[in-house]
Structure 1
Amino acid sequence: MAQLQRLAECTGSAHGVDGVVARMRALGAGFPAGDGVGVFNRVYLSVTEEVGRHVERGLFPDSGAAITLDVLFAERYLRAVEAVVADRRPPACWRPLFQLRRHPGVRPLQFALAGINAHIGHDLPLAVMDACRTLGCEPADLEDEFDRVGDILVSLEESIREELMPGPDLFQIADPLTHLLGSWSLDRARDSAWATALTMWALNELPAVADEFRERLDGAVGLVGRMLLTPLPD
């Protein structure tokens, strides 16, 4: 846990996209080879770096809104790590990844997909809510930024799969892995996250119902993550 402790020590010390990139780099520097959280951290770092490049090139309709959404989105993953550092339970959506992070029967691509599932399925709609409150706007005002971040994720998905999947021969033989890969879609997860954000916004006037909805969402996303992390035979 020493490498995770470094993240807790530097929380809040940096700003903007560059800040969360620096924190993820510091976190990733100490992960042992094969650590499942480290696999996801490396994938998410590459996505966040690409978001930063888009910001620098002025490719977002509203760079300030994009930065706010991206940073608040990243903070939810980083807080899950901090919870584990402090021996607290992370959100249910993240627990399978932390619990199975060193399981020898789980492939690197499974770790990456489980982390992406937790972050998109649970953290992204909540980050939209966070950003709306911070900016004093409604989800519709962030739709362009949401779509552009989603486009970045989709554009990197193929390279992520190519980097982390087994060699071609093994991939053809590994029918259970093939099935898992086909059972989860980033496009569908992104669409669901936006619909979830709109639902949460509509529940603002019903706080008890909103709390129940968030709790159920957390558990449901965690269940999908647990299935994505099903150990597979060699």
Structure 2
Amino acid sequence: MHAFRISWPPADGVAVFNQVYLTVTEEIGRRIGTGQFTDPQAAATLDVLFAGRYLAAVDAETDGRRPPACWRPLFQHRHHPGVRPLQFALAGINAHIGHDLALAVIDSCRLLGCEPAALEGEFDRVGDVLVLLEEQIREDLMPGPDLLEIADPLTHLLGTWSLERARDAAWSAARILWGLRELPLLADEFRERMDSGIGLVGRYLLTPLR
């Protein structure tokens, strides 16, 4: 992510998300290092596998392969002049939380040999970091002096999306996928529908506003 920050221009929509996510991962790493997670190994495993999903999507796009549907709107609109930085940031967060987080929980369970319930505490603590940073992200990237500009369409657009609700949905999705682990065809269908649904939300969040 540090390399991406150097190589991508600041106005690139994926670079906007990358900077936000880099801040999040550094904060989670700091909290793991200072003992703020009950199970540091589980927290680190979840954090690394979670980040790996984003990096894999970037690699797919760079190599000319199709990234997951949830990431495609951000890659397709990354240079659109009518999309504002906050939209890019939240579209990336939407893809990463809505799709990647649930899959990272499943990946972590398989690697650690546990069930999702064993990771719930660390999942919640990671989510708490994200929620705490969401307000700062909005403040840093919202245009204009007033965050509550009623006439600004961005206010209405972004008011329809909630990181906390996305996190809750990701946990539910992880539990469903774990329950379907012995039914691979159903699990694949659920993942595909989740991916496409999150991608649709991403397209909405990236509606050009100027």
Fold match (TM-score > 0.5): yes
1:95 aligns to 2:108 (yes or no): no
Kindly, what percent of the aligned residue pairs are identical? 71
1:108 aligns to 2:89 (yes or no): no
Counterpart CA distance in 1 for 2:29 and 2:147 is 35
- Map 1:66-105 → 2, pairs under 5 A: 66-105=43-82
- State the SS of the aligned residue for 2:100: helix
Query: Residue 130 of structure 1 aligns with which residue?
Result: 107
Q: Which has the higher contact order (CA 8 A, sep 6+)?
A: 2
1:150 aligns to 2:127 (yes or no): yes
- For the aligned residue pairs, the C-alpha RMSD in angstroms reads 1.1
Counterpart CA distance in 2 for 1:93 and 1:149 is 21
- CA deviations on 1:24-67 (whole Å, 9 max, x unpaired) are 11111111131000000000000000001001101101000000
Q: Is the 8 A contact 1:80 1:94 kept in 2?
A: yes
Count how many residue pairs are aligned between Structure 1 and Structure 2: 210
Counterpart CA distance in 2 for 1:55 and 1:153 is 14
Counterpart CA distance in 2 for 1:64 and 1:30 is 32
- CA deviations on 1:184-231 (whole Å, 9 max, x unpaired) are 001100000001100111111211000000000000000000000000
- CA deviations on 1:168-187 (whole Å, 9 max, x unpaired) are 25861653201111100011
Task: Assess, with a 3 A threshold, how the Cα gap between structure 1 residues 152 and 169 changes in structure 2: closer, same or farther.
Answer: closer
Counterpart CA distance in 2 for 1:27 and 1:174 is 35
Which runs of structure 1 show a deviation greater than 6 angstroms over 4 or more consecutive aligned residues? none
**TM-score, scaled relative to structure 1:** 0.88
Q: CA deviation at 1:167?
A: 1.3
**TM-score, scaled relative to structure 2:** 0.98
Query: Which sections of structure 1, spanning at least 5 residues, go unmatched?
Result: 1-23
Q: Is the 8 A contact 1:171 1:177 kept in 2?
A: no
- CA deviations on 1:72-95 (whole Å, 9 max, x unpaired) are 000000000000111111100000
Q: Is the 8 A contact 1:165 1:171 kept in 2?
A: no
Counterpart CA distance in 2 for 1:69 and 1:216 is 23
Query: Residue 10 of structure 2 aligns with which residue?
Result: 33
Counterpart CA distance in 2 for 1:48 and 1:144 is 18
Query: Which sections of structure 2, spanning at least 5 residues, go unmatched?
Result: none
Query: Residue 16 of structure 1 aligns with which residue?
Result: none
Counterpart CA distance in 2 for 1:99 and 1:174 is 28
Q: CA deviation at 1:155?
A: 0.7
Counterpart CA distance in 2 for 1:154 and 1:146 is 12
Q: Which amino acid aligns with 2:153?
A: P
